[in-house]
Structure 1
Amino acid sequence: MTSPPRTAARPPGREAVRPAGRAGFLLVGAVLALLMFSSSAPSALYVLYQEKWHLSAGTITVVYGVYAVTVLIALLLFGALSDTLGRRPVLMVSLALAIVSMVLFAGAQGLAWLLVARAVQGLGVGLATGATGAALLELAPASRPALGALVNSVGPPVGIGLGALGAGLLVEYAPAPLSLTFLVLTGAFAAALACLPWLPETAPGADRPTRFAPHRVRVPAAVRRRFLVLVLTVVAVWSVGGFYLSLGPKLVLVLLGSTNYLVGGATVGLLAWAATVTQLLLGRVRPLPTAMFGLIVMISGLGLVLLSLGTGSAALFLVATTALGSGWGAAFLGAIRALMALAAPQGRGELTAVIYVFGYLAMSVPAVLAGLLSNAYGLRATSVGFMAAVAALCGLALAGAVLLARRTAGGTAQDAPADGVPGPAPRRRAS
């Protein structure tokens, strides 16, 4: 069977796509959600792994950290690859790696298996990140061009929420709790891989001859300052996400005094689904106000989390998680839309990769550090310190967003395009 020919390269701007583009948009969105589903599925099993193989909380966060580190390696080396090689072939390699990782998880016999499975999974997700982010922008319906950025922001929490909740259900109520989730995911990835040959190719440089080689990703100098201000919000958001994915299930089980694995997975799902609902409600609001609103709600949610940990109230912790998830969703939606607006068509995959480099660093380093500290100081005390630090980071990100919004409001029409992010200052003519 031969793959369909690639579409011709398009001039700068959002590329026109074939009628199959709508189906392709849905396929790429499903691939993004499926990858995020698989990345959070192990979270519901971490408590079970701890009990079966006598692993500490620090060891569990190392397993989680291996995934994030390998995602980073793939992003740094191959994050821009889909801009030249094409979105479709990069996604096909990514899904093949995802299938290998699911098979390794299903057959895991100890810590070493988990580490290898997480590493392979991380490489697959890292390869796909730039390609999915760019393809969603390029395949979005012409009547709703903002839909690509919306799915880019909604896809991760939807997938994470489904993964944690679905895995929790299977672990608690289905047979073969350590393998069934991953066997189901193996079949889903195989089905998605079988559909990819029909995905329209939209990368502007995909028709030019290229060679498979590592390429260091970077942020264009013209947008670097704005990028650094906006990416603070991404760092704050994914610091919370990393904590909940690695230690959240264990924390809520301690607060509730429960041994039901579904409860642990549902906590991650609660955070993610609150984020998703908020993103859908705010999809048409301008990016910077959305990000600022989200950061304010996140700070409030973190305050409630601290109060719940101080009082030992599980009910308040769940309410706080819902509030935190709502802020998380709004902040990420605003930040990702504003950041995506900085990318030129030929560099979309690369800029998406750089955004997620910061995101995965924020997911991994603080979570691993929190896990190691919890071995010495206990989970509750470590959680208090972590949430206080993230609240301070949210405050810093909010201050940066406010300054950026003031600059936009005080600039010219050229300085403030429709996405709400100020463009490069116009050059003055010599008098």
Structure 2
Amino acid sequence: MTGRRRPRYLGAAGAFAVCMAGTTLPTPLYGLYQEQIGFSELMVTVVFAVYALGVIGVLLLVGNVSDAVGRRPVLLCGLGCAAGAAVAFLAEQGLALLFVGRLLSGFSAGLFTGTATAYVLELAPPDRRARAGFAATAANMGGLGLGPLLSGLLAEYTSHPLTLPYLVHLALLAVSFAVTWLLPETVAGARPLRTARPRRPDLPPQVRGVFVPAGIAAFAGFSLLGVFTSVSPAFLAEDLDVHNHAAVGAIVCLAFFASTAGQLLVPRLGAARAIPLGCLVLIAGLGLLALSLATGTLTPLVLAALVGGTGQGMGLRGAVGEVAGAAPAEQRGGVLSALFVVAYFGISIPVIGIGLLARPRLTHAGLVFAACMAALAAASGAYLLRRRVS
């Protein structure tokens, strides 16, 4: 039984990674879109925020629908939205289709984040539940990291930088659709998809005590990742004179891979301890980001991706573990979706703020961001430590 079930949760994790990779594919390409279409750095953050708002909207409206209609139908819809986003980028003729592509990417991520996390956990045999938790969060972060790495390499070393990344992604989505179609349903008594009704995620009483600290940690960590996926390419080009798309993609990828590595530390630390420690490591990463911005040097930025990503990963896996462990099985998808609503507010709100402050220089906006997020992470860590002591 264990031997047969192991590939099932890994197959679901693979589809999760492919879907999330599509959401970050445009990151190294924003400079090319700016040259082709002509828009400001503020518009880059707006395009990025459209994605985050799409995620939040789906999570709020149908974040817990998979608890009723099953995991597979929701994930298949998410893969369909991801394919629609790739087609929109392939047909891109201006800002309108960029917005459509990012909105559909947001829909796909919103449908996947909570649902796929719950699905991977449920497909795993009981003795591999801890590994499945890592597989789910690693698929999320690893997929987000693979997106810019793939598109950066293809943009730099092929002659079709704005089409080939999306064609490759469509092929991967087709494989993921087939894998997901063949996986078993894990929700007992799942109703037909047509019976689904929009319903906001709600928090059972037993979850509320752990949700606040988990949500704070997720917000702070995702805000750093939002900066790396939206405005770091512009900083690299304008202030550090780094124009190689593959290098830009690799630096962004580094933050997400460091997040995956940080998650490996959580089983030894314990989820409750990992969250405040993750906040502390995240503050160090923000300090390195501020140093890079202030001095215009590349090395602190690379270290910021490594250190900040590690802190984010520690906090995320700790948060997912605490929340999923406290949630009843029949409400787990909705509760995890609520957690990711908070996380994606962390991606969108600070990034829009940076876009508004980016004139006269992006550096100044980044320094304000780093100071604000460090203060938030410090307050979060202090609150979590005080809660542990009491």
Please, what TM-score do these two structures have when normalized by structure 2?
0.95
How do 1:289-300 residues align onto structure 2 when only pairs under 5 Å count?
A: 289-300=273-284
Q: Cα 1:72–1:133, aligned 2, differ >3 Å: closer, same or farther?
A: same
Greater alpha carbon shift after TM alignment, 209-218 vs 383-392? 209-218
Show the 5 A alignment for 1:207-226.
Answer: 211-226=195-210
Superposition deviation, residue 205 in structure 1: 4.3
Q: Show the counterpart of 1:125.
A: 109
Partner of residue 363, structure 1 = 347
Q: Does 1:176 align with 2:165?
A: no
Contact 1:292 1:331 in 2 (8 A): yes
Aligned partner of 1:206 in structure 2 is 190
**CA deviation after TM superposition for structure 1 residue 18, in Å:** 8.6
Distance 1:204 1:365 in 2: 38
Rounded Cα–Cα distance in structure 2 between residues aligned with 1:245 and 1:110: 21
The answer (yes or no) to whether the contact 1:150–1:337 under 8 Å persists in 2 is no
Greater gyration radius: 1
Tell me which residue corresponds to 2:246.
262
TM-score by length of 1: 0.86
The offset of 1:74, in angstroms, is 0.9
Amino acid at match of 1:361: F
Partner of 1:406: 389
Contact 1:170 1:180 in 2 (8 A): yes
Matched, 1:40 2:24: yes
Residue of structure 2 in register with 1:307 after alignment:
291
Residue of structure 1 equivalent to 2:372: 389
Q: Is 2:120 the partner of 1:115? A: no
Kindly indicate whether the alpha-carbon contact (under 8 Å) linking 2:210 and 2:322 is maintained by their aligned counterparts in 1. no
Report the Cα offset of residue 91 of structure 1. Answer: 1.1
Residue 380 (str. 1) matches residue 380 (str. 2): no
CA-to-aligned-CA distance 1:118-171 (integer Å, 9 cap, x gap): 112211221222220111111123222212322232222211111111110001
CA distance in 2, matches of 1:270, 1:209: 38
- The answer to whether 1:163 aligns with 2:147 is yes
Mapped partners of 1:144, 1:166: distance in 2: 30
> Where in structure 2 are there 5+ consecutive unaligned residues?
none
Cα deviation for residue 316 of structure 1 reads 2.2
> Which residue matches 1:426?
none
Task: Look up the match of 1:13.
Answer: none
Instruction: Classify the secondary structure of the residue corresponding to 1:143.
Output: helix
1:70 alignment partner AA: G
Q: CA RMSD in A?
A: 1.8
- Does residue 185 in structure 1 map to residue 154 in structure 2? no
Q: In the alignment, does 2:41 pair up with 1:65? A: no
Match for 2:74: what amino acid? V
Match of 1:101 among 75, 82, 85: 85
Task: Name the SS of the counterpart of 1:177 in structure 2.
Answer: coil
Give the aligned residue type for 1:237. G
Please give the alpha-carbon distance, in whole angstroms, between the structure 2 residues aligned to 1:295 and 1:205.
40
Aligned to 1:137: 121
Q: CA deviation at 1:19?
A: 6.6
Q: Which amino acid aligns with 2:69?
A: L
Contact 2:10 2:135 in 1 (8 A): no
Deviations 1:224-272 (Å, cap 9, x if unpaired)?
2331122100000011111111001221223321221122212211111
SS of 1:377 mapped into structure 2: coil
Aligned residue in 2 for 1:197: 181
The alpha-carbon distance between structure 1 residues 290 and 381, as it changes in their structure 2 partners (threshold 3 A), is same
Match of 1:417 in 2: none
Q: 1:118 to 1:210 in 2, by over 3 A?
A: closer
Relative to its length, the structure with more helix (as a share) is: 2
The residue type equivalent to 1:117 in the other structure is G
Does the CA-based 8 Å contact 2:2-2:125 persist in structure 1?
no
Cα pair 1:140 1:146 within 8 Å, conserved: no
- Which residue of 1 is the match for residue 261 of structure 2? 277
Asked if 2 retains the 8 angstrom alpha-carbon contact of 1:44 and 1:167, the reply is yes
Cα distance in structure 2, aligned partners of 1:208 and 1:272: 36
CA deviation vs aligned residue, 1:326-361 (integer Å, no higher than 9, x gap): 212212222221122121100011001101111111
2:13 aligned with 1:24 = no
User: Which residue is equivalent to 1:12?
Assistant: none
Structure 1's 314 and 193: CA in aligned 2 closer, same or farther, altered over 3 A? same
Question: 1:178 Cα shift?
Answer: 0.5
Aligned AA for 2:252? V
Number of matched pairs: 390
Q: Which moved more, 1:310-319 or 1:381-390?
A: 310-319
What is the CA-CA distance between 1:83 and the residue it aligns to? 0.5
After superposition, the C-alpha distances for 1:89-121 in whole angstroms (9 at most, x for unaligned) are: 111111112111111111211111100111122
- The CA deviation at 1:278 is 2.4
Give the one of 313, 322, 326 matched to 2:310: 326
